[in-house]
């Protein structure tokens, strides 16, 4: 077993966070395989924790235990069962995030449940080497019809791993549907965003319905149309769903048909250009949803990302009618709530409109973030009214 000795003074952070960065390590004792269990100790020899090691990553160890508890199948079984029980206690059933990485004590493992299918994302070497065991445990806990892997993410390269996706167990149902907020939604596990669908916004999508009645609605960066469909359910007068992906828009139209929604149209367009076009046309909307991809994915790009959010939000605010509502989102953990609020204040000034804060929301409770793990508190949504 490897033993990593921390530099003096690094134990304060290491005691609270499961990521051990390579530059906090003084030296390494022993030898083992990459992806094996390693222990981390302070400069005085006190055990900080044990986890999977990978010299290829800047995060050299991801801690799973703070004591000598064996990191074996039983540990995975107990933690996945506990994660499932916690979601069920909150009322989740048909679809939810079943395992949320560090927040469920399993760094590098994401599991989403879509009815009787599981979508699995494996992000680290340690988890990748235990894929077969993970599949076996998931079968025991969930008895799924299918387990589909969506490890086709660029971050795996940081662990020295190739991207991969495909069926790990069972047979994939290409006509898979889930029920969200009373709506029937088709889910494409093979080609949909992330693990197939953005489950983290389900409760915010329900909240949007409250603002939709009688309003002309614009859903920007609509993906598979979750916000647009919920707005229709809430009584929106007309809805336009805009995205640059025709594949996503095709799914929007299918989902609208599944629910008998006829007042929804799709527009294939670059959202930035679309906003400029609507401004020149002096269009006005009663409800606008702005849910873009992360404009900043690292601390080094926060300034640039801030400008992206500022420009887009100012353009959206300019299209709101008086009394209209903007629901604006950021899925970047680097765009903190205070920074996001600062951006909105500046955007309203640029757009020359006054706004009131209606509510601030974070990710759905099945994506609960452990206090202290700021990395897991990534999603924020703010609803504003133009006054």
Catalytic residues: 331
DSSP, collapsed to helix, strand or coil, labels residue 364 as: coil
Kind of pairing, strands 216-220 and 238-243? parallel
* HSE-up (13 A, CA, CB side) for residue 347: 26
Residue 29, phi then psi, degrees to nearest 5: -110, 150
CB 191 within 8 A of CB 251: no
DSSP-derived letter for residue 199 is: G
DSSP lists the bridge partners of residue 27 as 5
Mention every residue, 6+ apart, whose C-beta is less than 8 A from residue 327. Answer: 204, 208, 211, 227, 287, 288, 289, 290, 291, 381, 382, 383, 384
What is the C-alpha end-to-end distance of the chain, expressed in Å?
63
Closest CA to 364 of 119, 144, 103, 141: 103
CA 127 to chain centre: 19
CB contact burial 84-97 (16+ within 10 A = b; e otherwise): beebeeeebeebbb
CA distance 95 to 359: 25
CA distance 122 to 38: 19
């Amino acid at each position: 077993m490897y033993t990593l000795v921390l530099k003096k003074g690094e134990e304060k952070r290491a005691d609270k966070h499961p990521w051990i960065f390579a530059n906090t390590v003084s030296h390494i004792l022993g030898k083992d395989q990459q992806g094996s269990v390693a222990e981390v100790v302070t400069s005085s020899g006190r055990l900080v924790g044990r986890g999977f090691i990978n010299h290829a990553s800047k995060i050299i160890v991801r801690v799973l235990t703070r004591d000598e508890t064996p990191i074996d199948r039983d540990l995975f079984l107990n933690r996945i069962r506990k994660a499932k029980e916690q979601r069920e206690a909150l009322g989740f059933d048909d679809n939810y995030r079943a395992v949320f990485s560090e927040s469920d004590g399993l760094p590098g493992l994401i599991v989403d449940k879509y009815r009787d299918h599981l979508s699995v994302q494996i992000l680290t070497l340690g988890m990748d080497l235990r894929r077969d065991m993970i599949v076996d445990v998931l079968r025991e806990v969930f008895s799924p019809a299918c387990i589909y892997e969506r490890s086709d993410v660029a971050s795996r390269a940081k662990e020295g791993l190739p991207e991969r996706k495909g069926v790990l167990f069972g047979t994939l149902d290409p006509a898979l549907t889930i029920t969200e907020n009373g709506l029937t939604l088709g889910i494409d596990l093979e080609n949909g965003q992330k693990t197939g669908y953005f489950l983290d916004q389900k409760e915010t999508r329900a909240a949007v319905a409250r603002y939709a009645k009688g309003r002309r609605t614009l859903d920007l960066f609509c993906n598979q149309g979750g916000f647009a469909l919920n707005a229709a359910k809430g009584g929106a007068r007309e809805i336009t769903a805009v995205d640059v992906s025709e594949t996503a828009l095709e799914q929007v139209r299918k989902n609208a048909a599944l629910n008998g929604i006829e007042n929804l149209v799709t527009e294939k367009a670059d959202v930035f250009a679309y906003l400029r076009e609507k401004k020149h046309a002096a269009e006005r909307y009663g409800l606008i949803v702005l849910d873009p991809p992360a404009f900043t994915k690292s601390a080094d790009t926060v300034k640039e990302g801030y400008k992206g959010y500022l420009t887009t939000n100012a353009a959206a605010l300019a299209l709101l009618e008086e009394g209209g509502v903007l629901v604006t989102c950021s899925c970047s953990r680097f765009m903190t709530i205070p920074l996001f609020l600062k951006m909105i204040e500046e955007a309203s000034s640029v757009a020359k409109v006054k706004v009131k804060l209606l509510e601030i929301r974070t990710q759905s409770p099945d994506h609960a973030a452990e206090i202290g793990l700021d990395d897991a508190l990534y999603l924020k949504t703010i609803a504003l009214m133009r006054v």
